[in-house]
Amino acid sequence: MDFRSEVRTWLEGRLADTPTPHPRTWERELGKAGWIGIGWPGEDGETYGNRRATLAEQVVWAEEYARSTAPARMGHIGENLLAPTLIAYGTEEQKQRHLPAVARGETLWCQGYSEPGAGSDLAGIRTAAVPDGAGGYAVTGQKIWTSLALDADWCFVLARTDPGSTRHRGLSFLLLEMDQPGRIEVRPIRQLTGTSEFNEVFLDGARAGEVVGGEGNGWQVAMGLLALERGVSTLAQQIGFAAELGQVVAAAVASGAADDPVIRARLVRQWAELDTMRHHALRTLGTTGDPGVPSVAKLLWGGWHQRLGELAVAVAGEAGAVGPEPWTAQRPYELDYAQRLFLFSRADTIYGGSDEIQRNIIAERVLGLPREPR
């Protein structure tokens, strides 16, 4: 059995038994079957994850997972962001402590980067960390737009460990446990869609017992992590985008909107741009050291997905302005698929590094243009 067939057979069999498993249970199932951390490098031919896999096999896993309509992952931050960062910058003790738990699906992580007043501009971080006298740090400040903070067991936090520092100097990459009553408070943020995928996190002397990459080297570690956000997962993301585009096309055909030459041209353009993004992702897969690659990828998919949301409500026509059910004081407003896609995608060009920040990176670090006056 080839690798793609092995992946497809396992996913189909497991989801047939339990189509909607509990998210935490699902993470442990993935870990038990060896599907978390495939391809993580290790020492002497070993791996910190569950199995060794080539880059092509990692792509196959990501694509088949997206095609299977399996549950959204709760462990992707630990697997795709923290783990590669620890492998690149962490000590052997840190790798052995944290990576096996992630690979087993037992530990969930969140990312403490953005702050009020320091969203995409991470160099403006004000969260402070001071030595606590016990070999760790006491962290005080506020983080925002923190995905999965309510469910996470651990958080990696970018904080200022040098009180006299400014901008990118004096930052450190710290690891802290989330279960610290009285020291960490998580507040969900209600969004336009009525859901709360993001959170505010308030830190009041929260203890961080570990620093990755050495004190004061947080900016280097953070920039290395941001480059890891666009990789194999980008191809899997595009499988999801293709499914969303398929739903919009089906809605256009069913309603007759596809007969409108303007709508039809927009549908074709979305398809062509998605195909272009896939070829770009394949061409740059495995690229390291080029700061422009992740920024170009983010610019491409953020704008594309936002335009797809706009197209979805355009296809719906007048119905796109009306909720599927009556709205009452007792019944919060509900959204249909097109409305939810439109509203949620408004943030695509902001979160994960705004378009303005991505263009600055390309201008300054790739094209060598002068920095913006500050």
Query: Distances in Å between the alpha carbon of 227 and those of 118, 241, 295, 353?
Result: 19, 21, 9, 11
**Tens place of pLDDT per residue across the chain (374 aa):** 788 998 999 888 888 877 788 888 889 999 998 889 887 875 544 566 677 888 888 888 888 888 887 888 888 889 888 998 998 899 989 998 999 999 999 999 999 888 887 666 677 788 989 988 888 899 999 998 888 898 999 999 999 988 877 777 889 999 999 999 999 999 999 888 888 888 999 999 999 989 998 888 888 888 777 665 556 667 778 888 888 999 999 999 999 999 999 999 999 999 999 999 888 888 877 666 677 788 888 889 999 999 999 999 999 988 888 777 777 666 667 888 899 999 999 988 887 778 888 888 888 888 888 887 76
Q: Please give the pLDDT value at position 227.
A: 62
Cα–chain center distance at 194: 20
Our measurement of the distance from residue 30's CA atom to the centroid of its chain's CA atoms, rounded to an integer in Å, reads 19
The helix (H) or strand (E) run that includes residue 173 is strand 171-177
| Structure token digits, residue 330 | 């007792």
Identify whether 185 is a catalytic site residue.
no
Alpha helices in the chain (DSSP H): 3-17, 23-32, 55-67, 76-77, 83-89, 92-103, 218-228, 232-255, 261-284, 292-316, 337-344, 355-361
**267 touches 251 (CB < 8 A):** no
Hey, what amino acid is at 112?
G
DSSP assignment, residue 81? I
Please report the pLDDT score of residue 44 as a whole number: 45
What per-residue confidence (pLDDT) applies to 105?
A: 92
Compute the half-sphere exposure of residue 183: CA atoms within 13 Å on the CB side of its CA.
Answer: 13
Quote the radius of gyration of the chain (alpha carbons, Å): 22
Beta bridge partners of 176: 155, 208
3-state secondary structure 345-368: HHHCCCCCCCHHHHHHHHHHHHCC
Phi, psi of 141 (to 5 degrees): 160, -165
Strands 198-212 and 137-143: antiparallel
**Token representation of residue 26:** 């699902």
What pLDDT is attached to residue 162? 80
DSSP assignments along 204-224, one per residue: EEEEEEEEES-TT-HHHHHHH
* Three-state DSSP class for residue 157: strand
> In angstroms, rounded to a whole number, what is the distance separating the alpha carbons of residues 314 and 346?
15
- pLDDT of amino acid 313: 94
Q: ∠ CA 209-212-214 to the nearest 5 degrees?
A: 100
How confident is the model at residue 174, as a pLDDT?
94
Among residues 29, 64, 210, 229, the one annotated as catalytic is 229
Over the chain, what is the mean pLDDT? 85
Half-sphere exposure of 372 (CA within 13 A, CB side): 9
* Residues 233, 227: Cα–Cα separation, whole Å: 12
d(C-alpha 155, C-alpha 109), whole Å: 5
Q: If phi over 0 gives left and psi between -120 and 50 gives alpha, with beta otherwise, what is residue 174?
A: beta
What pLDDT shows up at residue 185? 95
The DSSP call for residue 115 is B
What pLDDT does 101 receive?
Answer: 93
**What does the pLDDT read at residue 84?**
86
Note the pTM of the prediction, 2 decimals: 0.82
| Residue 45: predicted pLDDT | 43
Contact 299, 359 (CB under 8 A): yes
Distant-in-sequence, close-in-space partners of 1: CB < 8 Å, separation ≥ 6: 9
